[in-house]
Chain A
Amino acid sequence: MKLTGAEIIWECLQKEGVDVVFGYPGGAILPTYDAMTKYPKIHHVLVRHEQGATHMADGYARASGKVGVAIATSGPGATNMVTGIATAMMDSSPIVCITGQVGSKAIGTDAFQETDVTGVTLPITKHNYLVTRPDDIARAIREAFYIAKSGRPGPVLVDITKDAQQLTCEFDWEAAAPKLPGYRPDLRALPSEYAKALELINTAKRPIIFAGQGVIKANATAQVLELADTTRTPIAVTLLGIGAIPASSPLNLGMMGMHGEAWVNEAIQQADLIIALGMRFDDRVTGNLKTYAPHAKKIHVEIDPSEVNKNVHVDVALIGDLAEVLEELLPGVRAADRSDWWATIAAAKGDSAVRDIQALPDSGHLYAAHVINDIWRLTQKRNTIVVTDVGQHQMWEAQYFHHEKPRSLITSGGLGTMGFALPAAIGAKFACPEKDVWVVVGDGGFQMTSCELATAEQEGIKVNVAIINNAFLGMVRQWQEFFYDKRYAATPMTGPDFAKLAEAYRLTGLRCNKRSDVKATVEKTLATKGTVVIDFVVEKEDTVFPMVPAGAALDKMIRRPKQDVMSESGADKDWEMPSSTLPGVFVEAAVEASLNGHGKAAKLSKPAKKSAKPVKVAAKPLRVAPTKKRSTARR
């Protein structure tokens, strides 16, 4: 069958089972858009910015486990995708991006809207293709889908020249089967490694299981619970592992890491064995590596060998798909009681639980944590996906919205991309139209991609947008509060009247600034047809607790309630500037040499004393007072 390249693209998408694509047209992709009219089975969602298309594809993929597809034109269309692709890469999300490219003859001439997109996206894709002939399109797309979803998933970009879309060739799906001799998504560990792992598991006294996003990707919830239950091993989850283990399971201690619960981090520091399942020891999880889990042997179950021994040295690595590895491991696991260990954890937990924000009396102020916890309470009986943005609200959601099911929390963890939530939620809604989709987003991040409200309106879909409006770039403000002597440089922020903005998009806008109104607001939101935007006007200078200051040991947390903390800013610096790459502007070579290794960058400001001026920033803080008043008055 002879088809144009453009038609082949749609044929392939259809054969890959794609039912929705997120895109934005332009010159170099026009032939493909023109051919789209012949393929009505695939629904095209017109986004308002190509970044939105990639986040939607990402949200669709995370909600469904299938591959999400985004389409854009060459040049600016493609470069607008970069943030979304990098986000998907960091969190191993399977998306395929198709971009138009200038004609093959024009490549390299700086033609109109020409960008070397495969070059630009090389380090942020799992793989990418530049296709210049129609004959190569089918194979590139088939390989792209196969690579995106197999092994450790990730984004794949296929850049297709305009002439390749226009010319015709024979379309042969079978002949276009992936030929990837170098691609090995399913490596396996040797049997001897299993024996070593079992020995460690069966003899540990204080083991702890880490459940990461790999548990969700591998669909291995049941196996992880079986392992934990048989061996009476507590489970801690990463941010992206939330939902992998039901929050209500007594085996689930909660989230670990920077904003994890104190008893979880304490348990990690005391553990004698860590069984890390599908998680990658991100620095937000480990804190200071030097003091990290000092008593623990480590077993790492990972599908990607390059993650093993990257951040944390492990004693045994079991390479492979988590579900398969656990199936193989489980028969050798011995039942145990470990009641002493549980007693230790319970003691730590008991003392932390009283500091819960729910214990705070209703002071007339609206706290973000209350809002989020209330939304959870009010929607518990419903089937809900929450998509969060990045910032304080993201952490409160992780702490106060209790997720029972895999894929019920979607958030940008690795890249921490503000602006992710609304478009990702739209994608998630397309994947799961039967579920409620809630967006929990800051006033800052919402303003980055709020244009996608128009997409929601045009598509007639319902997402419930809870803006946690603190009139600040709250998470950054919190760091300034702790580490920069409360100099709130560029973090107070105004925004539009969010309720009116929703109305301008012909959507419903609500506002809530009292705790007593939260219930009615949520109920009204659920009862309203179409997308609802709620402006939750919350306490401005609220803080996410607990917190491990970057660079500190995991159990040296700043605990709830607010204490007098952190006058020192060294730990913070340590994190931002690894000593190996200290820029010459800060220290002379001799000083740098004396710093040798990690953990001493805190002294950075000292050597400078020798010279005339200390490094420490300007003399007096640039206080930004008026904004506060103005925004209060406005309300």
Chain B
Amino acid sequence: MAKHTLIAYVEDVPGVLNRIASLFRRRNFNIDSLTVGRAEQPGVSRLTVVVEATEAGARLVEANLYKLVNVLRVDDLTRKPALMRELGLVKVTVTPDTRTQVLQLVDVFRARVVDVDDQALVIEVTGTPEKIGKFELVLRPYGIVEMVRTGVVAMARGHEPLSSNPPLVRAEVAGHKAEDHAHDTGVSMSV
């Protein structure tokens, strides 16, 4: 078992998140995090999902995502050079004694203080999920009042774009044409 980071482009239509959430629940896939946001194309959302799975399990997740009619493209970034980013907000209690120590840690982690009052700081931190995890760990002794993490978003490195065009279609789909198959990389998902 390992963490797999999958990117999915989905049509931005009502209910699509529900379909994805339902799929993961129904197939008993173990989601670590799931984030959605707009992508470069209008009408298309981009989903990053981290699942705990074996290699074969990850292929099943991918194949099942593809089965959803509104899913345009799926890509597994696990074995590719990729950037993983997450944002966290941490509210931590401070006293006159601990305030400077906390500020030093903020510095070390290249985080930012975004709100201050006499008893607490709110800190914004971005980075890999590991980094945010570490940050949480070092702040915990000071007293974390509240904390929220967005879940990871990911993008492959390099200039090659990952477009929402499907990677593995024949051009002809009975009755109507599939738009484009520029990234015809073969049946990556089939086995």
> A residues near B, CB below 8 A?
118-119, 122-123, 126-127, 130, 146-147, 150, 177-190, 193, 304-306, 308-310, 313-314, 316-317, 319
CB distance from A64 to the nearest CB of B (A): 19
- The listed residue (B15, B59, B170) touching A118 by CB distance below 8 A is B15
CB-CB nearest in chain B for A192:
B186
Question: How far does the alpha carbon of A180 sit from the alpha carbon of B67 in the complex, in Å?
Answer: 12
CA distance A122 to B14 in the complex (A): 13
B176 at the interface (CB under 8 A from A): yes
A122-B18, A177-B175, A310-B60 are known contacts. Are A182 and B68 too (CB-CB below 8 A)? yes
Q: Does B10 touch A at the CB level, under 8 Å?
A: yes
Q: Which of B26, B59, B166 contacts A184 (CB 8 A)?
A: B166
A180-B69, A184-B66 are known; give 20 further A-B pairs, CB within 8 A. Answer: A122-B18, A122-B22, A123-B23, A123-B26, A178-B175, A181-B72, A181-B178, A182-B69, A182-B70, A183-B69, A184-B178, A187-B187, A189-B187, A304-B67, A306-B64, A306-B67, A309-B59, A310-B60, A313-B56, A319-B190
A182 engages B26 (CB within 8 Å): no
B191 located at the interface, meaning its Cβ lies under 8 Å from any Cβ of chain A in the complex: yes
Nearest-Cβ distance from residue A221 to partner chain B, whole angstroms: 22
- How distant is the Cα of A178 from the Cα of B176 in the complex, in angstroms? 8
* Contact present for B60 and A309 (CB under 8 Å): yes
CB distance from B2 to the nearest CB of A (A): 17
> Using Cβ atoms and an 8 Å threshold, which residues of chain B touch A188?
170, 187
- Partner pick for B11 among A147, A181, A313, CB 8 A cutoff: A181
Which of chain A's residues have a CB closer than 8 A to the CB of B166?
A: 181-182, 184
CA–CA, A309 and B187, complex, Å: 15
A310 to B19, alpha carbons, bound, how many Å? Answer: 20
B169 at interface (Cβ–Cβ under 8 A)?
yes
B148 contacts the other chain (CB 8 A): no
Residues of B within 8 A of A130 (CB): 14-15
Q: List 18 A-B contacts (CB under 8 A).
A: A119-B18, A122-B19, A122-B22, A130-B14, A179-B176, A182-B10, A182-B72, A182-B73, A184-B169, A185-B173, A185-B174, A189-B187, A190-B186, A190-B190, A308-B191, A309-B191, A316-B191, A317-B191
Interface membership of B189, Cβ < 8 A: yes
Q: Which residues of B contact A309 (CB under 8 A)?
A: 56, 59-60, 191
Residues of A within 8 A of B59 (CB): 309
Which 9 interchain pairs have the tightest Cβ spacing?
A306-B63, A305-B63, A182-B72, A319-B190, A317-B191, A127-B69, A306-B64, A183-B69, A305-B190
Task: Report the nearest A residue to B174, measured CB to CB.
Answer: A150
B50 within 8 Å of A (CB atoms): no
Q: A182-B166, A186-B170 are in contact. Are A123 and B176 (CB under 8 A)?
A: no
Does B117 have its Cβ within 8 Å of any Cβ on chain A?
no
**Are B70 and A308 in contact, with the CB atoms below 8 A?**
no
The residues of A that contact B73 with a CB separation of less than 8 Å are: 182
- Tell whether, in the assembled complex, residue B187 and residue A182 are in contact, meaning their CB atoms are under 8 Å apart: no
Q: Determine if A317 and B190 form an interchain contact, defined as CB atoms under 8 angstroms apart.
A: yes
**B71 contacts the other chain (Cβ, under 8 Å)?**
yes
Closest to A318 in B: B190
Q: Are B11 and A182 in contact (CB under 8 A)?
A: yes
A521-B108 Cα distance, complex, nearest whole Å = 90
B97 within 8 A of A: no
- Residues of A within 8 Å of B22, CB to CB, are 122-123
- Chain A residues with CB below 8 A from B69, complex form: 126-127, 147, 180, 182-183
Asked whether B146 is an interface residue with its Cβ less than 8 Å from the other chain, the reply is no
Most buried by A among B23, B72, B168, B173: B173
Complex Cα distance, B11 from A183, in Å, reads 11
Bound complex: CA A188 to CA B170 (Å): 8
A114 to B66, CA, bound (A): 31
A349 to B38, CA, bound (A): 62
Q: Is there an interface contact between B169 and A187, defined as CB atoms closer than 8 Å?
A: yes
List the A side residues contacting B70 at CB < 8 Å.
Answer: 182
B118 CB–A CB distance under 8 Å? no
CB-nearest residue of chain B relative to A315? B191
Quick one: closest A residue to B57, CB to CB? A309
Min distance, Cβ B126 to any Cβ of chain A, angstroms: 31
| Given known A122-B18, A305-B63, A317-B191, contact A184–B186 (CB-CB < 8 A) | no
**Does B115 interact with chain A (Cβ within 8 Å)?**
no
Question: Is B160's beta carbon under 8 Å from chain A?
Answer: no
- Within the complex, the shortest CB–CB distance from A517 to chain B, in Å, comes to 49
